[in-house]
Chain A
């Protein structure tokens, strides 16, 4: 009895081991390993991978098995880096477009310029996944964002025009407060949220007035003193925001914003998911954050976050390239991007974007956008952290500037 139990236990324990061994039949099945960072779209992408398998079998008579992996986003980069170091690197993987230069230096990106997909991507989006004129990734998620606002509250407060200058914004704040609305949603618990204030103010200021600031910073000759004007806008936001900001996480902030706790929220359209989940009929708008009274600095941030890359040492590189091209397939791509609620990024996308997306894209079409500033990630991290302390009044403007200058110097020294 005992013996048979032990045997059984051994078999049960061994079963998962045998399951790991490869059960390829015949050897003509080709495997394609893909790693992606957005588990919330697992269903859509799994379906798309199946479509790809069917297409390959039908069109080219290749049996393909796609292994799609989506680690949680907070672990994704660590897992990816560990895998890239080893022999089990994925054939295709996603990365943030801001990291393209770093991954390219390490030799983990394939030049996709000559692939059919490259010709389909819109030019302003293509610029964001290119380096020295070479297309190095397939853009997936792109955003046009700056400040989210509650259209109903704006209407109720009698605001008809979106702000073009900081003075306009001040008037809007007064009008909202007259109707006893809190103008700004502050959710500063996660330091990346306050960081967005620097992202939108620096972006507008640098593209409209203090041009070449990033280049100067990267050369080690610039200083945050040149852009200290961003604090006019930041102070305005902090002075007219919701209470208990440090207790409010990003998600909670989106939910509270949807529930009408404040009229504006400096956050990207990526939080639209939470907002509409909280309140499906929310009247969401996107406006560009003014930095000063120069209209030319009031611009919307255009960025590409998740980008798909092909590993240059992939064992099935031909197949990997076929998959990359299939992501921007003329027939199938449109429905995939629509299902994931991504913005259209290529000529093969023919679907109606949500109203708030179109509103943001109007700025882009009028040329009133800027490419998301690519600062070293140590710098963006520090900006968010210092703004938390600035909000708690443990750091002054002057300390912010000197610390940021030092952090930037340190980051480029590596």
Chain B
């Protein structure tokens, strides 16, 4: 009888999930699996016929200097983005939570960039970097701004980072705020009574308790950092040359521009997928272990 009910409950669960599951299978799982198949072919996206080439596409990647350059750039970007975005989001979250007034308004303001598409955000910043900044440099003599913010790879790395943090921080901030609100106030009070200053309270009491939020935020930033596309595409287009090209842009250009090698570019996506999978798995296992240690 009990088993029968269990079976029914499982069936019902499955039925409830079915619409979402169907969409997921058709639009995510099936393309992903067929993508692996295409990565073993030399399809160019146009010809009705193509050949099976085995792992030739994967071998080719070894000598593809542009791909490695974009991978190097992406790694550098991810490292900087994860740290900067999370630190800024946490600072904002703590600052807003410690205020008495205007909390709602400030939350809305900082969350707002997240509500516009990053393509539009990118173009807005494009205007700032190419027009406003030069206006300030020329008319107000703020000469430290007089650099090629989207053209010189040394500076455009920072402009890309600024724009992507601007877009991501609001979202992360909300997660951190939720985490902060989950910290029991009696613990904070107790630490105050024990003579902790604000920083000590934060570091020794609050910080360990918001680790679950940090796990989510780091996971999200890692994941989206590796797939960065829209910000770079609108800001520098990957240029000058391929100096600020991320892996996602490299894949896009391989498929839709130049040689239009769909097979080869899906092979590159597979490699990117494996890298993201590996990195996030390691991150999750480390950070979740820390959570359990508490």
Q: A156 near B: Cβ within 8 Å?
A: no
Q: Are A244 and B134 in contact (CB under 8 A)?
A: yes
Residues of B within 8 A of A106 (CB): 46-48
Q: Is B195 an interface residue (CB 8 A)?
A: no
Residues in B neighbouring A248, C-beta threshold 8 A: 130
The answer to whether A414 touches B44, judged by C-beta atoms less than 8 angstroms apart, is: yes
CB of B45 closer than 8 Å to a CB of A: yes
Query: In this assembly, does B93 line the interface, its C-beta being within 8 Å of a C-beta of chain A?
Result: no
Q: Is the pair A81, B239 in contact by a Cβ cutoff of 8 Å?
A: no
Cα(A108)–Cα(B47), bound, Å: 9
- The interface residues of chain B lying within 8 Å CB-to-CB of A388 are 151, 239-241
- Chain A residues near B242 (CB-CB < 8 A): 385
Closest to A245 in B: B151
Q: Is the Cβ of A394 less than 8 Å from the Cβ of B241?
A: yes
Neighbouring B residues of A191 by C-beta, 8 Å = 237, 239, 241
A377 touches B42 (CB 8 A): no
Docked CA distance A414–B41 (Å): 12
User: Which among A102, A247, A395, A410 is the interface contact of B241 at CB below 8 angstroms?
Assistant: A395
Question: Are B129 and A392 in contact (CB-based, < 8 A)?
Answer: no
When distances are taken between beta carbons in the complex, the residues of chain A under 8 Å from B153 are 392, 394
Docked-complex contact A81 and B46, CB < 8 angstroms: yes
Once the chains bind, are B258 and A382 in contact (CB under 8 Å)? yes
Residues of the B chain whose Cβ atoms lie less than 8 Å from the Cβ of A389: 240-241, 243
Selected from A78, A107, A392, A414, the residue in CB contact (under 8 A) with B259 is: A414
In contact, B241 and A385 (Cβ under 8 angstroms): yes
Interface size, A (range): 35 or more
Known A-B contacts A106-B48, A107-B48; A77 and B256 likewise in contact (beta carbons under 8 Å): yes
Contacts of A108 in B (CB 8 A): 46
B39 at interface by CB-CB < 8 Å? no
Asked if A61 CB lies within 8 Å of chain B CBs, one says no
Chain B: minimal CB distance from A112 (Å): 20
In whole Å, how far is B46's beta carbon from the nearest beta carbon of chain A? 5
Could you tell me if A246 and B241 are in contact, using CB atoms closer than 8 angstroms?
A: no
Is B97 positioned at the interface, with any CB of A under 8 Å from its CB? no
Complex CA distance for A378 and B44, rounded to whole angstroms: 13
- Residues in chain B near residue A392, CB distance under 8 A: 148, 151-153, 240-241, 243
Nearest-neighbor residue (CB-CB) of B254 within chain A: A378
Contacts of B42 in A (CB 8 A): 414
**B268 interface residue per 8 A CB criterion:** no
Distance A102 CA – B260 CA, assembled complex (angstroms): 11
Q: With A189-B237, A389-B241, A411-B259 in contact, is A246–B46 under 8 Å at CB?
A: no
Instruction: Give complex CA distance A190, B239 in Å.
Output: 8
Determine if B240 and A247 form an interchain contact, defined as CB atoms under 8 angstroms apart: no
A382 to B259 alpha-carbon distance, docked (Å): 11
Q: Are B46 and A247 in contact (CB-based, < 8 A)? A: no
Residues of chain A from 159 to 192 with CB closer than 8 A to chain B in the complex: 188-191
B221 interface hit (Cβ, 8 Å): no
Pair B151/A189 contact, Cβ less than 8 Å: yes
Residues 359-378 of A at the B interface (beta carbon under 8 Å): 376-378
* Bound-state Cα–Cα, A193 to B143, Å: 29
Known: A381-B257, A391-B240, A395-B241. A189 touches B150 (CB 8 A): yes
Q: Mark A241-255, 1 if CB is under 8 A from B, else 0.
A: 000111110000000
The residues in A between 188 and 203 inclusive whose CB is less than 8 angstroms from any CB of B are 188-191
User: Are B151 and A247 in touch, CB under 8 angstroms?
Assistant: yes
Complex Cα distance A106/B261, Å? 14
Rounded to whole angstroms, the CA-CA distance of A343 and B153 in the bound complex is 40
Q: Does B230 contact A (CB under 8 A)?
A: no
Smallest Cβ distance from A172 to chain B, in angstroms? 27
| Set B239, B240, B258: member contacting A378, Cβ < 8 A | B258
Contacts of A381 on B, CB cut-off 8 Å?
Answer: 253, 257-258
Q: How far is the CA of A392 from the CA of B148 in the complex (A)?
A: 10
A106 CA to B241 CA in the complex, in Å? Answer: 31
Interface 1/0 per residue, B223-267 and A, CB below 8 Å: 000000000000001011111000000000100111111000000
A103 at the interface (CB under 8 A from B): yes
Q: Which of B44, B48, B129, B257 contacts A247 (CB 8 A)?
A: B129
Complex interface bits, B110-151 against A, C-beta within 8 A gives 1, otherwise 0:
000000000000000000011000100000000000001111
Q: How far is the CA of A81 from the CA of B257 in the complex (A)?
A: 13
Report B47 CB to chain A, min CB distance, Å: 5
Asked if A246 and B243 make an inter-chain contact with CB atoms under 8 angstroms apart, the answer reads no
A246-B240, A391-B240 are contacts. A84–B46 as well, Cβ < 8 Å?
Answer: yes
By beta carbon, the residue of chain A nearest B152 is: A392
Known pairs A378-B259, A394-B153; A386 contacts B241 (CB<8 A): yes
Cα A246 to Cα B238 in complex, Å, equals: 12
Tell me which residues across on chain B come within 8 A of A414, comparing CB atoms: 42, 44, 259, 261
- Which A residues have a C-beta under 8 Å from some C-beta of B? 77-78, 81, 84-85, 102-103, 105-108, 188-191, 244-248, 376-378, 381-382, 385-386, 388-389, 391-392, 394-395, 410-411, 414
Extra contacts, 16 of them, besides A84-B46, A106-B46, A244-B130 (Cβ < 8 A), are A77-B256, A85-B48, A102-B46, A106-B48, A188-B240, A244-B148, A246-B239, A376-B259, A377-B258, A378-B257, A385-B241, A388-B239, A392-B152, A392-B241, A394-B241, A410-B259
Q: Show 18 A/B contacts (Cβ-Cβ < 8 Å), sorted by A.
A: A85-B46, A106-B47, A107-B48, A188-B240, A190-B237, A244-B130, A247-B129, A247-B134, A247-B149, A247-B150, A377-B259, A378-B257, A382-B258, A388-B240, A389-B241, A392-B153, A410-B259, A411-B259
Nearest 7 pairs between A and B by C-beta? A246-B151, A378-B258, A389-B241, A388-B240, A247-B130, A385-B241, A378-B259
